[in-house]
A and B are shown apart, each in its own frame.
Chain A
Amino acid sequence: NAGVTQTPKFRILKIGQSMTLQCTQDMNHNYMYWYRQDPGMGLKLIYYSVGAGITDKGEVPNGYNVSRSTTEDFPLRLELAAPSQTSVYFCASSYPGQGISGNTIYFGEGSWLTVV
Chain B
Amino acid sequence: GQQLNQSPQSMFIQEGEDVSMNCTSSSIFNTWLWYKQDPGEGPVLLIALYKAGELTSNGRLTAQFGITRKDSFLNISASIPSDVGIYFCAGPPLGDGGSQGNLIFGKGTKLSVKP
Binding site for B on A (CB under 8 A): 4, 31, 33, 35, 40-45, 48, 50, 56, 58-59, 90, 92, 94, 96-100, 102-110
The reply to whether A105 and B101 contact each other, CB–CB distance below 8 Å, is yes
Of B11-19, B39-47, B60-68, which stretch is located at the interface?
B39-47
Binding site for A on B (CB under 8 A): 1, 4, 31, 33, 40-45, 48, 50, 88, 90, 92, 98-103, 105-108
How long is the Cα–Cα vector from A41 to B33 in the complex, in angstroms? 17
The reply to whether A105 and B107 contact each other, CB–CB distance below 8 Å, is no
Q: A50-B100, A90-B43 are in contact. List 5 more A-B contacts (CB 8 A).
A: A43-B90, A96-B99, A103-B33, A105-B101, A110-B42
How long is the Cα–Cα vector from A104 to B92 in the complex, in angstroms? 10
The reply to whether B42 and A90 contact each other, CB–CB distance below 8 Å, is yes
Please judge, given known A-B contacts A103-B33, A103-B92, whether A109 and B42 are in contact too, CB under 8 Å: yes
The reply to whether B107 and A41 contact each other, CB–CB distance below 8 Å, is yes
